Amino acid sequence: MQINTPFFKQRAHDALADANLQKALGNLKAGFPEKRAIAVSRMPEFEQLRDQGRDLKNHILEHLDLYLEEFERKVIENGGHVHWARTADDANRIILDICQQVDAKTVTKGKSMVTEEIGLNDFLEANGVQPVETDLGEYILQLRHDHPSHIIAPAIHLNLEDVSEAFHANHHRPKSSDPAVLMQEAREVLREKFVAADVGITGANFCVAETGSTIIVTNEGNGDLTQTLPKTHVVVTSIEKVVPTLEDMTLFLRLLARSATGQEFSVYNTLSSGPRREGDQDGPENFHVVLVDNGRSEMVGSEFQDMLRCIRCSACMNHCPVYGAVGGHSYGWVYPGPMGSVLTPQMIGIEKGGMLPNASTFCGKCESVCPVRIPLPKLMRHWREDEFEKHLQPKAARYGLAGWAFLAKRPALYKPYTRMASWMMKAWAGKNGRIRTLPLAGGWTDWRDMPAPQGKTFMQAWKEQQKAGGQQ
């Protein structure tokens, strides 16, 4: 996937002006957040589970090497194979080699953000292997030569008309705007792909060290067909997905569904524990797990380690006002929203991803809904500090901060300047108290009015409060 993170501002500007996208994003604002709130309200112990999930993830990360080695041992004991991929290129080569060993021409794929991260589809196509996405959202995007804009609802930026056009153009069937007809059409087309596939590739929500099992959590069932029908099943996942026991896994499943879609439990929670055994009615003959690092091990022990607690629920982006306004494609790479604003600079470098940690109001909503309590605003602040120290910020931002620092260090100048600026903004706003245009603030006033300052300055109010307190 092409990296477009440096163009966040322009992409966000285009997104705000895109009427179809804004219509689609309106469905997000009225969907996931409300459903999560209802699901959480029905579970009195939810906050306690969040604490347990945070603490368990911290324990896993402190002993990550031990649990990964135990997971590998169990997979091998079950008859499977484990492959370690330090980089995206390593992972792609390993997966291609597995496909070539079985002379695969077609592979079916379940939804996997890690395979998006490593650019697997393009790599396989370039080497003569045709990947077919089987998650409905991902399949629609593949037909449109598009990319996911959300980590659990990849086609959320599309409307029904977009889907109808894509199916008509690719399936050569009568055009329909009936969701039931379109769903049945997708089933009929994909059923042939499932049967013909030589290899099935899935992700994994968690890897269980105790049993050597991987689990996928879905609501469509396509993942089950992807991993049981082909002769070879390849799991592509990242190293931080390991958990110690099945019981630990169930803790995260209780958090995941409620935080992601507002369900008490996802429809399909499917465990894979190696290749088909004697007496099994179905399952693959070959089972491979590709564990991808791709910069994650560098986060262990760093100020960004907390990000590795992420269970990919999407709650942070579902509640983020920035994501809700501009959508996932504005972020310019695989991971959007607050979690992407932390993870992306680690993977592609702050030089390319520096715009993303700045794409936040720091309202704190993301941290308040994260099921494992990741301090996302703090982590984004770390990236901002790193960007500033490396002189990567735009000159306007650096000069602006330098000017503010100059005044802030000199109260004799700062106080009258802020009083004057406050008075001028009030005058500019007029009787309605709203500023429609403001120099140097076009990024705000192009899309919304800015409220004029009300009342006294902070310094004036603080001085009066201190004086009043001293008189009591």
Model pLDDT, residue 471: 58
8 Å CB contact between 340 and 282: no
Helices (H), 146-235: 160-171, 179-196, 222-228
- On whether the CB atoms of residues 227 and 273 are closer than 8 A, the answer is no
d(CA 17, CA 20): 9
Measured between alpha carbons, how far is 377 from 363 in angstroms, rounded to an integer? Answer: 8
Rounded to whole angstroms, the Cα distance separating 114 from 126 reads: 19
Dihedral sign computed on CA atoms, order 389, 395, 396, 399? positive
Neighbours of 354 (CB within 10 A): 23
Please state the pTM of the whole predicted model: 0.90
Q: Residue written as tokens 């402190």?
A: 62
Residue ranges and CATH numbers for the domains of the chain are 32-298 (3.40.50.10420), 404-471 (no CATH)
Q: Are strands 232-238 and 450-451 parallel, antiparallel or unpaired?
A: unpaired
Cβ proximity of 74 and 246 under 8 Å: no
The number of helices, as runs of H, and strands, as runs of E, in the chain is 23, 12
Distance of alpha carbon 301 from alpha carbon 312, whole angstroms: 21
Contacts of 237 (CB under 8 A, 6+ apart): 112, 114, 203, 204, 207, 214, 289, 290, 291, 292
Name the stretches of the chain with pLDDT < 50: none
Phi and psi at 171, nearest 5°, equal -95, -15
Q: Give me Rg for the CA atoms of the chain.
A: 25
Assigned token pair, 267: 């429809």
**463 CB neighbour count, 10 Å cutoff:** 13
- Closest to 201 in 3D by CA, of 300, 284, 89: 284
Tokens of 283: 């399952």
285 half-sphere exposure, CB direction, 13 A CA radius: 6
* The pLDDT of residue 281: 87
Pairs from 331-334 (Cβ < 8 Å, separation ≥ 24):
331/5, 331/8, 331/11, 331/356, 331/359, 332/3, 332/4, 332/5, 332/6, 332/7, 332/8, 332/11, 332/356, 333/1, 333/3, 333/4, 333/5, 334/1, 334/113, 334/116, 334/117, 334/147, 334/148
| Burial of 41 per CB tally in 10 Å (0-12, 13-18, 19+) | exposed
Distance separating alpha carbons of residues 429 and 435, to the nearest angstrom: 5
Rounded CA-CA distance 22/6 in Å is 22
Task: Confirm if 311 and 371 have CB atoms less than 8 A apart.
Answer: yes
State the number of CA atoms in the 13 A half-sphere of 410 facing the CB.
10
pLDDT tens for 277-330 read 988 888 999 999 999 999 999 999 999 999 999 999 999 999 999 999 999 999
